[in-house]
DNA sequence: ACCTGAACACCGTTCAAGT
DNA sequence: ACCTGAACACCGTTCAAGT
């Protein structure tokens, strides 16, 4: 089911004993996997490619890992250790940072993670993603949202709303960045290229009119990257405003 | 770059001339592709598998389609034709439906599309997704958001916020549904199984306390599916409240 | 305990050849 | 114009064998 659920963890971890002939190790294997996935993408990643990178036969890796999917799960949880999480024990009253600030920071960290490692989003979709680092991340998310003062059912809605948005947004963004890199273009070049290669279906002319209006409707949005930053922030603003509105609404109902 | 951008459309479409020896056709090929992707998932889909389904050699398909990716783009745009879009020309004043209602319906249609065809989200990530049906869908989204009365830059934020949320949420949901089907379990069975196989790391005990509180915090959320419906609606509530708050805020600033 | 080699059943795609 | 077969360079994984 998952390497993190019992039974699949049967292969010993062999992390601390680095006197192997080839110096192999789950740690080193996971390292190399992440590096390869970053460099060449999920589609090109293979056990044979990884093994050759490690200077070893393809089958050696199978001593440390039961299956390719298990290895991908390890890599996935590995990168979920990267985001800086808000200090969880701000027990003192005065200096506890505002939930808005925490939310923005955590969202930015999550976005950066996915854009840095675009393969991450494909894997979170395909696996359960319940490794230790992923759990710590989820915990941080829950804590931040709990700080809003929403009721528990609405906290669940808010978590879904904010972090599935970040997931979706960053997935598209990350894949686009990767495509540009593969084509050897900057994002602006790629974007202009795609735009000019576009033969708009005549019956959709008005669609593009509205779209282009919206595209140029942002001051300070000269580059693709700037536009994406602005959109991302605008969406977070919307969600924060939504949370505030629901908090106020619940307070009013309670006061009645 | 994409089958929808010039140059890649070089292979003739051959849609109308169905007198081929094998009765092959882009239409029929795309049909079979969607059916196979639905039944067995993106990972198991292959040109050879598809060809055998069509009663034909693997290489026959390449007469109609330049590459596997092109075919996947065709399948992707095909299913984007499924959602019912709001009637776009509600020009009469009185009976134009509320944007809130339109938004909920379009979000529900999008969610249903992704859950029905979980491979869709992987592909929207990997391709540009600028086929005619996808464009019509985007157009509908833009029209609905334009109905909120937000300023253009904020419309962009709102589109990202709502529809990337739906994308992210439904992606996870769809993949989970698919996993359950492959394992031959109901969603509740799979969920309980995963939960019981779970060996919680001791230092995360408090995480799970809070998590379990939240899990059981929903009345009427007995089944996994009910809970997901409730969370989805709660998230949409939040986003709609956010849009309303920003509309009000902009109105106030304009009035000053 | 750790690593290898050969083998199996697959891939996407090219290319020359058939009708 | 449409379809096939053989071939190339790949996959993940099994299994018996080496040290």
Residues in chain A: 256
| CA atoms lying within 13 Å on the CB side of residue B66 | 13
| Percent above pLDDT 90 for chain A | 74
**Which positions 179-218 of A are in contact with B (Cβ < 8 Å)?**
183, 193-194, 197-199, 201, 204, 207, 210-211, 213-214, 217-218
> Taking 90 as the threshold, does the pLDDT of residue A97 lie above it?
no
Separation in Å: C1 C1' and A239 CA: 55
The string of pLDDT tens digits covering residues A31-80 is: 999 999 999 999 999 999 999 999 999 999 999 999 999 999 999 999 99
In angstroms, the CA A42 to CA A67 distance is: 15
Cβ count near A151 (within 10 Å): 15
Range B3-79: architecture per CATH: Orthogonal Bundle (1.10)
Q: What is the dihedral of CA A234, A152, A134, A126, to 10 degrees?
A: -80
Predicted confidence at residue A215, as pLDDT, reads: 74
Rounded to whole angstroms, the Cα distance separating B37 from B224 reads: 25
Q: Does position A22 have pLDDT exceeding 80, yes or no?
A: no
Dihedral angle of Cα A154, A159, A161, A163, to the nearest 10 degrees: 170
B21 touches strand D (CB under 7 A): yes
pLDDT recorded at residue A137? 97
Domain residue ranges in chain B: 3-79, 99-184+223-255
Which residue in A211, A27, A195, A224 sits closest to A115, CA to CA? A224
Q: Which of B226, B205, B199, B204 is nearest to B215 (CA)?
A: B226
Judge whether residue A208 has pLDDT over 90: no
pLDDT in tens, A83-96: 999 986 655 555 66
Confidence band (pLDDT; 50, 70, 90) for B21?
Answer: low
Q: Which of A143, A155, A169 sits opposite B160 (nearest CB)?
A: A169
Residues of chain A numbered 76-115 and touching chain B (CB < 8 Å): none
**Interface size between A and B, measured as CB pairs under 8 A:** 231
Give the pTM.
Answer: 0.94
Mean per-residue pLDDT, B159-167: 98
Task: Work out if B24's Cβ lies within 7 angstroms of strand D.
Answer: yes
Question: E-assigned strands of chain B?
Answer: none
Quick one: average pLDDT of A3-7? 81
Closest CA to B130 of A215, A197, A43, A178: A197
- Angle of helix B119-126 versus helix B165-183 axis, rounded to 10: 140
Given a contact cutoff of 8 angstroms between Cβ atoms, the answer to whether B121 and B170 are in contact is: yes
Q: What is the pLDDT of residue A95?
A: 61
* pLDDT of the residue at A8: 47
β-bridge partners, B5: A198
B12 touches strand D (CB under 7 A): yes
pLDDT at B9: 47
Q: What is the CATH number of domain A99-184+223-255?
A: 1.10.357.10
Work out the pLDDT band at A195, boundaries 50, 70, 90. confident
SS3 A198: strand
Q: Residue A106 carries which DSSP code?
A: H
Quickly state the pLDDT bin for A139 (edges 50, 70, 90): very high
Q: How many CA atoms lie within 13 A of A189 on its CB side?
A: 8
Of A114-118, A196-200, B95-99, where does the model show the most confidence?
A114-118
Name the residue of chain A whose CA is nearest to B206's CA. Answer: A139
Is the CB of residue A59 inside 7 Å of nucleic acid strand D?
A: yes
């Amino acid at each position: 089911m998952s390497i993190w659920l019992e039974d699949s963890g049967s292969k010993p971890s062999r992390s601390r004993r680095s006197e192997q002939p080839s110096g192999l190790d789950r740690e080193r294997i996971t390292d190399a996997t992440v590096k390869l996935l970053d460099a060449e993408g999920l589609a090109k990643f293979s056990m044979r490619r990884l093994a050759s990178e490690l200077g070893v036969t393809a089958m050696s890796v199978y001593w440390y890992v039961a299956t390719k999917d298990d290895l991908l799960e390890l890599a996935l949880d590995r990168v979920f250790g990267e985001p800086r999480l808000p200090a969880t024990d701000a027990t003192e009253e005065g200096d506890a940072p505002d939930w808005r600030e925490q939310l923005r920071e955590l969202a930015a960290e999550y976005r950066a993670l996915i854009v840095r490692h675009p393969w991450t989003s494909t894997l979170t979709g395909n696996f359960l993603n319940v490794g230790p680092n992923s759990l710590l991340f989820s915990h941080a998310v829950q804590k931040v949202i709990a700080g809003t003062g929403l009721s528990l059912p609405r906290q669940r809605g808010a978590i879904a709303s904010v972090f599935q948005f970040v997931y979706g947004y960053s997935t598209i963004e990350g894949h686009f960045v990767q495509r540009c890199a593969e084509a050897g273009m900057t994002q602006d070049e790629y974007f202009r290229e795609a735009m000019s290669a576009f033969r708009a279906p005549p019956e959709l002319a008005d669609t593009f009119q509205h779209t282009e209006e919206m595209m140029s409707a942002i001051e300070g949005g000269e580059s693709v990257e700037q536009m994406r930053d602005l959109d991302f922030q605008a969406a977070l603003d919307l969600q924060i405003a939504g949370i505030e509105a629901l908090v106020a609404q619940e307070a009013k109902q309670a006061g009645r």
